[in-house]
Structure 1
Amino acid sequence: MSELCGWCLSDPQYIAYHNQEWGVPCDDDRTHFEFLILEAAQAGLSWLTVLRKREGYRMAFADFSPHKVAKFDADMVEILKANPGIVRNRLKIESTISNAKLFLEIQKEYGSFARYMWSYFDDKPIQNQWLTLADVPATSEQSDQISKDLKKRGFRFFGSTICYAYLQALGFVNDHLLSCPRHAACAELGKNFHAHWQDEGST
């Protein structure tokens, strides 16, 4: 019997996120930057808490434009620290700005941040086959490698656990349970993404 992954059933917004976004492969850099911000903001909090503040983050952080966020100054940090629409943690706010600058550096080096990330997966999503939520890991070999490299580059609030949540969200790994109808849907999206991404890379 098909049933949604149990972690999303506490809230309609959570269910919508699960059904429409979570696990869908992504090559859009603005979306990648958005989730870098949101996943880092989640550290020590629940994902639902951050999801409910998503629009607050969109407004506070320039519609998730890394170019604009990279130019935020000390005065903007104080403004953001007083903003109830986001997590008002100075270290997280400051790291978002410094991470934006590093994000732009990776874009220059690889052509896009998505290209950098997908290079750890040979441009192909991993299709996991989990039966229960207890089977789903908190980290992976790739999340260890990516977080280590990003930390070396200067990124903050992006350890392996946060990185793995990011990989799950943006479809680098398909961690929907086998019993969930979204598993098959995301697997098919993964096939199409791989073919499209390969074509883009060869042009």
Structure 2
Amino acid sequence: MTAMIDRPHMLTEEFEAVARIAARETEGTRLEFIDGVLRSKAVPDGDHGMIIQWLTRICMQHRPELWLHPGQGLKVEQYRAGRAIPDAVLAPAGAFAGQGEWVAPDPALMVVEVTSWDSDTDRRDRIEKPRAYAETGIPVYLLIDRDKCEISLHTEPEGGRYLNVRTVPYGMDVGLPEPVGITLRTEPLKDWVR
């Protein structure tokens, strides 16, 4: 599928209005606007929540000046026309205070996605979002892939993509480079897959 940035399904402002209504009126779905296309994202399950909780504890222990902001909407893509809701954003503790639902990604040191059990996760989490986050210049994209029992670490954003992608199976240690500077011991992730 080619990007629809030149001919988006709707304007960004229209998307934001629809997303507000959907959040208020429906359960089980969150909306995103990537590459000019409206997408839905399943609401996380309990194991998904445990993974975010596990990562939050690690970040708090090693980088107490930062916070793992769950579900924070980000303005992404070139010219910030896109809207994405990562599972978590690592940024300074007060980085998004006083801002609305969709914030500029400039303070983000890392975005985190944990795969869901929906049909769209492959395209969304493995193709569209890495490109959008790289275009935005977010230094680290961490994909915790429950389908494959792997972690993919994307670093060095340049030219709309991450130049360095390292994938390791659950159980191996993963060093998150600066500006994050944390090592993840991933053995516990084996408990939160189907």
Q: TM-score, normalised by structure 1?
A: 0.25
Greater per-residue strand proportion: 2
Greater per-residue helix proportion: 1
Q: TM-score, normalised by structure 2?
A: 0.25
Greater relative contact order, per chain length (Cα 8 Å cut-off, separation 6+): 1
Greater Rg by CA: 1
